[in-house]
Amino acid sequence: MIISNAQHYKEQVKALLQAGNLPESDLPESFDNFLVAIIDNEIAGVAGLEIYGEYGLLRSVAVGRKHRNLGIAAKLVDEIITICISKEISTLYLLTETAAEYFKNKGFIQIGREQVPAEIKASSEFSHVCPVSAIVMKKSIA
């Protein structure tokens, strides 16, 4: 498995997100902080990071159906956390409708929407893409 910047794989990333019923309409123009996992020249997974000052928003973690249960999501999330450390991000937030238990096992804790900083609340994912029923989680990085 190769982990690479997702910049040159936008269409494949969008297709993978669509297949997983994850939002892709509001993806950033630049994929500077998005990563893909490549297996046999195929995009097997993706994870992205949006940066809002000292806070990060983990988004678009998806693994293709035939590549699941191989540790791909874990590797991608670990690489995103490494990016957070290098960019001095103090806390990583996420919204999920289906993977709260997975992220709990990765050290994230569930929090209330009111506990989210204004910078993250202003993101498109938080403000209008994900439903208010989505679970909010955070992980301290520093």
| pLDDT less than 70: residues of the chain | 142
**Residue 65 CB: number of other CB atoms within 10 A?**
8
pLDDT of residue 133: 85
Q: How many C-beta atoms surround the C-beta of residue 59 within 10 A?
A: 30
Q: What is the pLDDT of residue 23?
A: 86
Domain 2-140, CATH class in plain words: alpha beta
- Position 29 scores a pLDDT of 85
Please report, for the chain, the start and end positions of each structural domain, with discontinuous segments joined by +: 2-140
Q: Residue 21 has what pLDDT?
A: 87
